[in-house]
Structure 1
């Protein structure tokens, strides 16, 4: 639905760590998800795989949006984030909730 500018999507449940083989192990990487839970697990996996500068974005994209920072969809600024689910969506200001289709 939306993302932080220049972000690349990685499946947090089944990450393709081989896709990161061309990235320098010393390059800083910031991972994030809706609130930070899934990305914390991914950060742990990346660290165990030898990546040295892994950071988990505190509060995830929900906090990022709640603070009014830029979010994008298809390389264009947007004002909406997928609320993930009804419970986690309570952590996202309602004005940022994307409408379900």
Structure 2
């Protein structure tokens, strides 16, 4: 009925989310989904760190991404301090926090994927599950899942159960 309002509202919410993340993490360098897609077509590739929870990662993730939901698991991967790294989560908040922690630990080429997997997926870019192309992204919860373009995903009820805060 009010579908003509959904797209502009979603766009406004995205701008608000991105502005809040930039304000909360001013030292974190963002990278756009377009820039990352271009970078992934060239070598050397950045290391991709998926900061989401295991159940989110299991539904789908960017091809080649490593599941590292916290600083400890990221450090344990054996990353070099000067290695190019791109972290992402659902919308960018959790990954911005990890990028900030990696910067504080001495990593110099670490970036936050602005819009993270939600924007990547909404733009029609490939995500995988068990090495095969996936057709959906875990919505994190029903509120944040509204930032996913509805035609791009149909989450199961188990996937939209409330989780703790996005932080």
Task: Using structure 2 for the length normalisation, give the TM-score.
Answer: 0.56
Match of 1:36 in 2: 92
Residues 27-52 of structure 1 deviation map (CA, whole Å, 9 limit, x = unaligned): 11000000001110000001101111
Query: Unpaired runs of 5+ in structure 1?
Result: none
Query: Contact (CA 8 Å) 1:3, 1:71: kept in 2 or not?
Result: yes
Aligned length: 99
Alignment partner of 2:118 out of 62, 76, 81? 62
2:47 counterpart of 1:16: no
Alignment of 1:59-98 (within 5 A): 59-95=115-151, 96-98=153-155
Task: Using structure 1 for the length normalisation, give the TM-score.
Answer: 0.89
Q: Output the aligned Cα RMSD.
A: 1.4
Q: Tell me which of the two structures has the higher relative contact order, counting C-alpha pairs closer than 8 angstroms and 6 or more residues apart.
A: 1
- Displacement of 1:17: 4.3
Structure of larger gyration radius = 2
Equivalents in 1 of 2:100, 2:82: separation in Å? 15
